[in-house]
């Protein structure tokens, strides 16, 4: 399967890989392994030793924490804007969260020794990974605030917008049960919130498929959390306001044209 899809995929579809200087990009590309990520597949178990980092391209991976009584809540999501496995270069080899594929697709994985060799050069790779980590911390922190302070309608809008940012279309394959689990709320709350958005003409929902009809409407209805996260990613990873940082380079645009 991977062989049949390799022609349609390139590492530059991941924004972090695309942002690397050409020298580093060329050096690690032979070590990048294209992998298919199936819906529900577990990439990391809680407490397991990490052997690879993952750079999603078309897949979305959810990091969530499962409590002793079996309930779970999403901590953050990772798509084509990021990397999965930051605990490796932060000094740890394990993570308490569980990483599962939320939206099926593809990505590239890189062995831990390769990413650590590049990181330990203390050059552009290290800087980029640390900037991404700061942006990710912002997302995790803002999610905690949002889940505590804002309505389920607003949380659902935020979650849908973040998912849309990581997909090439306006359609998501997602059940209400799964969304409720990600947000840590009751299914009835998601049913009501989705119904509100559908009646407002913002989404269409049927049989586990959500089609966003009015993205601008979702953006106007969500809380400030979505824009806080989006602006922080743009500020840190696109080099806004920092003359010493490198914006996502032309390989991104080149990959989109294929």
Q: Are residues 134 and 155 in the same domain?
A: no
The residue from 106, 127, 148 where one domain ends is 148
Q: State residue 187's pLDDT score.
A: 86
Q: Give the per-residue pLDDT at 243.
A: 37
Dist. CA 17–CA 80, nearest whole Å = 10
Outline where DSSP puts E strands in the chain: 33-37, 42-44, 52-56, 60-66, 72-78, 98-103, 105-111, 171-173, 203-206, 209-212
Within-domain flag for 242: no
Inside any domain, residue 258: no
**Whole-number pLDDT of residue 25:** 96
Instruction: Answer yes or no: do 127 and 107 share one domain.
Output: yes
Give the CATH number for residue 196: 1.10.10.10
Residues 204 and 87 in one domain: no
Q: What is the pLDDT of residue 128?
A: 94
Range of the domain at 86: 1-148
Last residue of a domain, one of 131, 148, 165: 148
Cross-sheet strand order for the sheet of 171-173: 171-173, 209-212, 203-206
Q: What pLDDT is attached to residue 89? A: 87
One domain, residues 171 and 55: no
Please tell me whether residues 116 and 185 are part of one structural domain: no
pLDDT in tens, the chain (258 residues): 455 555 578 999 999 999 999 999 999 999 999 999 998 899 998 888 889 999 999 999 999 888 778 777 888 999 999 999 998 888 877 888 889 998 899 999 999 999 999 999 989 999 999 999 999 999 999 988 998 899 999 999 999 999 999 988 888 888 888 888 888 888 899 989 999 999 999 999 887 889 999 999 999 999 999 999 999 998 888 765 443 444 444 444 444 344
In the sheet where 33-37 sits, what is the strand order? 33-37, 105-111, 52-56
Q: Are 167 and 102 in contact (CB under 8 A)?
A: no
Question: Do 108 and 199 belong to one domain?
Answer: no
**pLDDT value of residue 178:** 83
| Domain co-membership, 171 together with 213 | yes
Q: Are residues 215 and 113 in the same domain?
A: no
User: How many whole angstroms separate alpha carbon 106 and alpha carbon 124?
Assistant: 25
CB-CB contact of 63 with 98 (8 Å): yes
pLDDT reported for residue 169: 84
pTM of the model: 0.85
Could you give the dihedral angle defined by the CA atoms of residues 105, 225, 232 and 102, in that order, rounded to the nearest 10 degrees?
-10
pLDDT at position 246 is 45
45 phi/psi in degrees, rounded to 5: -90, 150
Q: How many domains does the chain have?
A: 2
Could you tell me if 41 and 97 lie in one domain? yes
Residue 235 and residue 78: Cα distance in Å, rounded? 18
The radius of gyration computed from the CA coordinates of the chain, to the nearest angstrom, equals 18
CATH of the domain at 17: 2.60.120.10
Report how far residue 67's alpha carbon sits from residue 214's, in angstroms, rounded to the nearest whole number. Answer: 36
Among 107, 123, 148, identify where a domain stops.
148
Do 142 and 160 lie in one domain? The reply is no
């Amino acid at each position: 399967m991977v062989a049949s899809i390799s022609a349609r995929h390139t590492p530059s579809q991941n924004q972090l890989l695309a942002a690397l200087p050409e020298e580093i990009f060329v050096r690690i590309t032979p070590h990048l392994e294209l992998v298919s990520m199936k819906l529900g597949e577990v990439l990391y178990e809680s407490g397991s030793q990490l052997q690879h980092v993952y750079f999603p391209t078309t897949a979305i991976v959810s990091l969530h924490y499962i409590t002793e009584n079996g309930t779970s809540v999403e901590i953050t999501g990772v798509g084509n804007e990021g990397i999965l496995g930051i605990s490796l270069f932060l000094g740890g080899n394990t993570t308490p969260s569980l990483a599962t594929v939320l939206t099926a697709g593809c990505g590239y994985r890189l062995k831990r020794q390769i990413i650590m060799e590049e990181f330990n050069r203390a050059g552009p790779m290290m800087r980029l990974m640390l900037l991404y980590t700061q942006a990710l911390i912002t997302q995790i922190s803002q999610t905690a605030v949002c889940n505590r302070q804002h309505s389920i309608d607003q949380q659902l809008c935020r979650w849908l917008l973040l998912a849309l940012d990581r997909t090439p279309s306006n359609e998501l394959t997602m059940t209400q049960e799964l969304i409720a689990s990600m947000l840590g709320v009751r299914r009835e709350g998601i049913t009501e919130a989705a119904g509100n958005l559908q009646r407002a003409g913002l989404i269409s929902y049927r049989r586990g498929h959500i089609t966003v009809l009015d993205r601008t409407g979702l953006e106007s209805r969500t809380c400030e959390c979505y824009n806080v996260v989006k602006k922080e990613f743009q500020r840190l990873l696109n080099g806004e306001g920092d003359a010493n940082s490198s914006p996502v380079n032309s390989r991104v645009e080149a990959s989109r044209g294929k």
